[in-house]
Structure formats: structure tokens, C-alpha cells
Amino acid sequence: MHVRQVETFVLKIDGGVGYQGVVGQERPDGYHVRPPWRSLYSSRFESLLVRVTAEDGTVGWGEALAPVAPEVPRAVVDLLLAPVLVGLDATMPRRSWCTLRDLMRERGHLVGHQADALAAVDIALWDLAGRLAGRSIPEIAGGAFRDEVPTYVSGLPGVDDAHRADLAREWIDRGANAIKLHLGHGVDSDLATFDAVRAAVPDVRLAVDAHWVYPFHDALRLADGLAERDGWFLEAPLMPEDLAAHAELGRRSRVPIAVGEAMRNRYEFQQWFDAGAIGIAQPDIGRTGMTEGLVIAELAAARHLPVAPHHSSGLGLALAAGLCMAAAAETTSVFEYQVASTEIGSRILRNPIEVRSNAFTPPHGPGLGVDVDEEAVRRLAEVAG
């Protein structure tokens, strides 16, 4: 059974509120920077979907985490990957991934937009292979370790600490037992926010995402402050390329350092694992794809490290892929619950993924286990232009 056709869809969905709440100064193109964070964000939920069809008409779907300019990885799929993919065996996603990976490898394109494009295609190929076999992705990957994946609520997008504390109480009342704060506003300010939320919900596990903003000594001071307060973990404390500083911080921090969303492949993760720079591994399947995500999980398991998949603005397909990997990975500890993107991402699915405030139930059907509303996807793609 061979691949017959590859289609791509750029989506830009107006969710009524930007990722993690209030946005910064918006440019005419809808993008903005949100100080102190340095990254470019969109006021919409943007994504790239890929549809792969086999000779018998069976369809597999994939998604890249492409929150800004999904047109770029779309061009990579259309120009570089799809012409090679057509005609390959639709039942062998790992072999196809290796073929597609090597197309631009000697030119240094194992990361960035090339990898994001490949991730979407790879997820679609695993979905297709599972549907052709009539089995879920965890089943064709060797079996699931769990039927439920614990979650933490990611972000309390309040206007001040009192508002964040109120939001935390609301989530605990709804059954949540773990929360991650999106901070990076200065060490003293971050610890004050942590204290305000901790006072409101004293029994909750509480972590901090610093969004890569701190120099080493400030990151260490924040880690020490979190350790004194029984913090859960510190995510993305330093510049994402600084392996040496993360390794040193990992040696000196008394809370685990969580890293992984900026990485795309096994080679990057292996270097960071070997350096002791990661305490909790956070691959995002919308950036690694299923093939690499499963390998990264095995590398983590070999080092007795927990895997806590990253999930931010990805839609329902990226969520389903992440949950499939989380179910199949030996050392999965928790999954990130992004409330807005989970709700908005369900617009492309016929049936939403089951989620509670403290756990996801991974889909159990063939492939990714979700049914894509193709009419909705095509309609949303037309709106995006």
C-alpha cells in the first residue's frame, strides 16, 4: 500500500483571546512580542495540518506546532517532502521518516521549519499506518503503559497576583491538582507570584516556566527560591541554546530543570541528557513527530528521567499525537493542559478528546484515535487564506 496524495492546510483561528491571555502591542500582521518574553506570538491560533492519502483512499492526518507563519513549513512539505513521499510504503512510517529526514540533512536542516514540516508529515504517516492496520498508534508502537495521562493546568493568565490566586482556586475546585505559572518577570516578582498562588492553594503542585529569560545567577536564585518553597520544577530558565549553563544549573538546582520544547530530534536530546542538563524531558510531538518522540522517550527511560510532553498552541491533532506518545512512553509523568488551545483545537475534530482538570484519556481508536472534521478544516483554511 503506497502513499497517493499529500495535502497541506494552513489554519489561523481567532479564539477570542491570545495564547496565555492578554497580548502585547500587535503588529498589522497579527504578530507581537510580549515582554519580558522574547518570542513572537500570534493573536490567533495558527497551525499547519497535513493530510496523507493511501492508494485505497485511507487518510492519515498530522499537525506541526507552527504558532507563527505556518506558511513556511507548509512550503517545505509542498516543495521538498511531498514529491518524495508520494509512492512510499504507507505502512512504514519510521522508514519513510528516515528517507525524508535525510533529504536536507547534510545542509543542516534537522531542526527549525524543516523539522516542523517533517513532524506534521510523520504524525500523518503514523495515523495512516494505524488506520490501515486497524490499531492505535500506541498499539503499533508496542503497547500503551497507561490508559490515563496525568495533567497540569498550564498558565493562570491573570492581570495580577490576586487574580492568578483566584484562578488557581477555581481550577482546584474543578479538580486540578497541579499548576504551572508562566512567569519570567524578575526573580523577586516570580517568587511573589508563587507565594500568592501557594497561599491560595497550599496543597497543589506548583511549577514555574521562566520562558528562557534569565541569566545564570538569576536562574539559580529562582531555583533556590522554588526549592525553599517546595516548588515542583523550573522550566526554560536560560537561553534555549545554552547547554553548558543548563548543565551547571542542573547540577546546582534543588528542583528539576525541565527543558525540551525547542528541540526537534534524538541527537539534540541525547547531548543534553549526556550533559545532565535535563531533569524533566519535554518533547513536543508537534515539533519532533511521532518517530523521534518515541525515540526521545526511550533515551529518557534509559536514564530514568521522567517525560512530560510539552503542549502549547497546537490544535486537536497535535494534542492527540502527544497523548499517543505519552501513553506509549515508559516514563511519562504528566502532560501539559493548555486550556484555550485544547478547547479551540477541538473545532477540527468531530468528537473532542476527553479531558478532566487532572487527567487526559488518550484516544483509543485506530491511528491517532480522533476523527477530523474535514469540512471544518477546509473552511478554516479558506478563512486563513
Q: What pLDDT does residue 276 have?
A: 97
- In angstroms and rounded to an integer, the radius of gyration of the C-alpha atoms of the chain is 20
> Where does the chain hold its CATH 3.30.390.10 domain(s)?
3-134+374-384
> Where does the chain hold its CATH 3.20.20.120 domain(s)?
140-360
User: pTM for this structure?
Assistant: 0.96
Residue-wise pLDDT tens digits, 366-384: 999 999 999 999 999 988 7
User: 153 and 232 in contact (C-beta within 8 Å)?
Assistant: no
- pLDDT band with cut points at 50, 70 and 90 for residue 141: very high
Residue-wise pLDDT tens digits, 174-200: 999 999 999 999 999 999 999 999 999
Q: Which CATH number is 3-134+374-384 given?
A: 3.30.390.10
Residue-wise pLDDT tens digits, 186-240: 999 999 999 999 999 999 999 999 999 999 999 999 999 999 999 999 999 999 9
Backbone angles phi, psi at 216, to 5 degrees: -55, -50
Strands 359-360 and 178-182: unpaired
pLDDT exceeds cutoff 90 at 310: yes
- The C-alpha atoms of residue 12 and residue 26 are separated, in whole angstroms, by 15
Of residues 121, 70, 13, the one with CA closest to residue 382:
13
User: 120 and 64 in contact (C-beta within 8 Å)?
Assistant: yes
Domain 140-360 sits in which CATH superfamily?
Enolase-like C-terminal domain (3.20.20.120)
Within the chain, what is the greatest distance between any pair of CA atoms?
60
Cis peptide leading into 352, omega within 30 of 0? no
- The C-alpha atoms of residue 256 and residue 281 are separated, in whole angstroms, by 10
pLDDT exceeds cutoff 70 at 312: yes
- pLDDT band with cut points at 50, 70 and 90 for residue 32: confident
Q: What is the dihedral of CA 120, 123, 129, 132, to 10 degrees?
A: -80
- pLDDT band with cut points at 50, 70 and 90 for residue 60: very high
